Structure 1
Amino acid sequence: MLSRNAIAAQACAAVLLITTAGCAPADDTKPSAGASASASGSACPAGALDTFTAGKLTIGTDNPAYEPWFSGNKPSNGKGFESAVAHEVAARLGYPAQNVVWTEVTFNNAIAPGPKTFDFDINQFSITPERRKAVDFSSPYYLVRQAVITTAGSKIAGAKTIADLKSAKLGAQVGTTSYQAITEVLKPDTKPLVYNNNDDAKAALENGQVDGIVVDLPTAFYMTGAELKDGVIVGQLPQVGVPEQFGLVLDLGSPLTGCVTQAVDQLRQDGTLAVLEKQWLAGTGGAPELS
């Protein structure tokens, strides 16, 4: 089994290709409704935005907060890709680490309609038209693929095509695009199983309750390289249409959406996002595409 360092080294070139391929397509990178107002400097006074708590920036994410997006289940430490991105966004908005407050919010609650207890939430939220009806999104900070993982000796370990997975029993976290990928792309004969989080899905795989699980590609590399005994990436799913994109979630019509989007755009344009991807995320090397 590859070490995490070996996985990261193998993947760096692919990460660079992803990041330099660049800005997501125009139809999905446009700001949400709350971002229509000008995001100029005068509209985004540093450290003095209309935040949930005056003088502080409150950022939400789930508990547990998984590797490689976070490190040590401590979002506030600035380690892991999403923790680092969140702190960079906060800094661009004028909120140093001591003025950032992290709050626990479940995945489904963060994207549900209604007032929020955070200024923005970061938790691998894919930007979708359905979710845009309930929340605002920033411009995307990451383009992602989904992948099927299993363990050596599984009946699907040698699968090469989507058709090879037709009879597989698969699982994924509830409410995620990973689950959606099973139902809309893989379409197995058996109804997929749903789990509260990736830890529960991983346990089901280890216990033989499912043949494989679907997760985003960086998580697939981490799980198979550092968490699962004899973990195997079966393959990544084909990219259909517009690439899947992760965005920061804000309250629908939030006055902060434009400012947060501006900060994300700056991080993309000056290369900071590319640097953070290289530092924290494994790329697509070693993950064949299922045809």
Structure 2
Amino acid sequence: MKKALLSLTALCLLAGTAEARTWAEIKKSGTIKIGTEGAFPPFNMMKGTQLTGFEVELANALAKQLGLKVQWVTQPFDGLLLGLQQDRFDFVIASHGITPERQRAVDFANPHYCTGGAIVSMKGGPTKAADLKGKIVAVQVGTTYLTGVQKIPGAKVLVFPKDTDAQTALLAGKAAVWVGDKFTGLDLVKAQKGKLQQGALLFTEKIGMAVKKGNTSVLKELNAALAKAQSSGTYAKISRSYFGEDIRCKNFQ
């Protein structure tokens, strides 16, 4: 948590120290640079040498609508928003929960899906927050899932650089519980064929693409492109191919 708070402080200090590319500059170049983690299935991950996942396909579709080519940049999750401030990419799409702390450092587009922090354990294990006292909980660094677990009295937090590492800790018996994205949890339970169970959600959240603070021209285009993809059926097609349902925030205004 301390590391995450320091990173957010650094982001706020960096905001405004350099100029991000405007929409006009991106359009003129013909290519948009997008940052993601590439290690958070099924949202963004590597299959061999190919970057794929729900968010990757969605961002590629948005770029196509905007008439742009895509240059993908991958790096660890806890450095993505810092990389955005350092102008390594024009926007980030990596399942960032929209929180007040992050909103002080970056600007978020309208949510591209809604989810929550889920508890996953071996069959017969903990299924709700009250069960986590004294239990080892595996979670990824720099995430809202880590923040959520740290609020539970008595939970013993085991932090990993990647979400897949946290999942492995659960499967190897090094942790009693994994806490992470609801949809990732459902995939994990399905893949383990009866060995795991998904319990309650610790919290719900909206997930959004992030742009550098004050980059309103790019934010406007992303919001318009997302709305078009959702109204045209493009979003629903991509979503159903991964989740069997449309995971947009239906009640978002």
Fold shared, TM-score > 0.5 on shorter chain: yes
The CA distance in 1 between the partners of 2:93 and 2:239, in whole Å, is: 15
Query: Which structure carries more relative contact order (alpha carbon 8 Å, separation 6+)?
Result: 1
Per-residue CA distance 1:107-157 (angstroms, 9 max, x = gap): 12222373221111111111111111111211111011221112236x42x
1:80 CA drift (Å): 2.5
Match of 2:235 in 1: 273
Q: Decide which of 95, 102, 111 is 1:124's aligned counterpart.
A: 95
Match of 2:164 in 1: 199
1:165 CA drift (Å): 2.8
1:105/1:253 CA distance change after superposition, 3 Å:
farther
Match of 1:288 in 2: none
Q: Decide which of 80, 85, 89 is 2:62's aligned counterpart.
A: 89
Match of 1:107 in 2: 77
Q: Decide which of 114, 129, 132 is 1:143's aligned counterpart.
A: 114
1:74/1:137 CA distance change after superposition, 3 Å:
farther
1:76 CA drift (Å): 5.9
Match of 2:43 in 1: 69
1:261 CA drift (Å): 1.5
The CA distance in 2 between the partners of 1:259 and 1:253, in whole Å, is: 14
1:282 CA drift (Å): 5.4
Write the letter of the residue equivalent to 2:146. Y
Per-residue CA distance 1:142-196 (angstroms, 9 max, x = gap): 011221112236x42xx4x432333322121011111122123xx1413311110
* Structure with the largest fraction of strand: 2
1:283/1:164 CA distance change after superposition, 3 Å:
farther
Write the letter of the residue equivalent to 1:111. L
For 1:1-291, what aligned pairs fall within 5 Å after superposition? 49-51=24-26, 54-63=29-38, 65-70=39-44, 72-73=46-47, 79-95=52-68, 99-112=69-82, 114-152=85-123, 155-156=125-126, 159=127, 161-184=128-151, 187-226=152-191, 228=192, 230-237=194-201, 239=203, 243-254=204-215, 255-281=217-243
The CA distance in 2 between the partners of 1:165 and 1:203, in whole Å, is: 19
RMSD: 2.8
Q: Which runs of 5+ in 1 are unaligned?
A: 1-42, 285-291
1:229 CA drift (Å): 6.8
Three-state SS of the structure 1 residue aligned to 2:228 is helix
Q: Which runs of 5+ in 2 are unaligned?
A: 1-21, 247-253
- What TM-score do the two structures reach when normalised by structure 1? 0.68
Three-state SS of the structure 2 residue aligned to 1:124 is strand
Partners of 2:186 and 2:198 within 8 A in 1 = no
Q: Percent identity?
A: 29
1:163/1:211 CA distance change after superposition, 3 Å:
same
1:72 CA drift (Å): 4.2
Per-residue CA distance 1:232-280 (angstroms, 9 max, x = gap): 23313155xxx51111111122231111111112223334323322111
Three-state SS of the structure 1 residue aligned to 2:159 is strand
Partners of 2:115 and 2:205 within 8 A in 1 = yes
1:73 CA drift (Å): 3.5
Aligned length: 224
Partners of 2:132 and 2:155 within 8 A in 1 = no
Write the letter of the residue equivalent to 1:182. V
